[in-house]
Amino acid sequence: MSSLERADVARLAILARIDMTDDDLDRLSGQLNAIVDAVATLATLDTHDVPATSHPIPMANVERDDVIEPSLTPAQALAAAPQAEDDRFRVPQILGEEA
């Protein structure tokens, strides 16, 4: 498992949408590398024929019927909105584009 460079952490911070100062990045790289080293023990384990467990209690086909349930009113939905306009959530200019 590779160790994290400061540039890697900076890239991850962008992916995770968290602003970081240079100090933050320095501090975080150190701490993260320590953790990454600690979890590196997993690399010593041979698990190639072990299936992954994503749900601790195995279940399948849990579904709901196509039946309407009550929605929130726009007032309730927007009550906590940092900014709202015309019953919609207002956000500053979007730089990127829909994926």
| Least distance between other proteins and beta carbon 27 (Å) | 8
In whole angstroms, what is the distance from residue 4 CA to residue 33 CA? 6
The residue count for binding other proteins (CB under 8 A) is: 76
* The one-letter amino acid at 90: R
CA 17 to chain centre: 9
Residue placing its CB nearer to other proteins in the complex, 26 or 87 = 87
Q: Does 36 bind other proteins (CB under 8 A)?
A: yes
Selection from 4, 70, 73 nearest residue 32 by Cα: 4
Q: Does 22 bind other proteins (CB under 8 A)?
A: no
Q: Does 23 bind other proteins (CB under 8 A)?
A: no
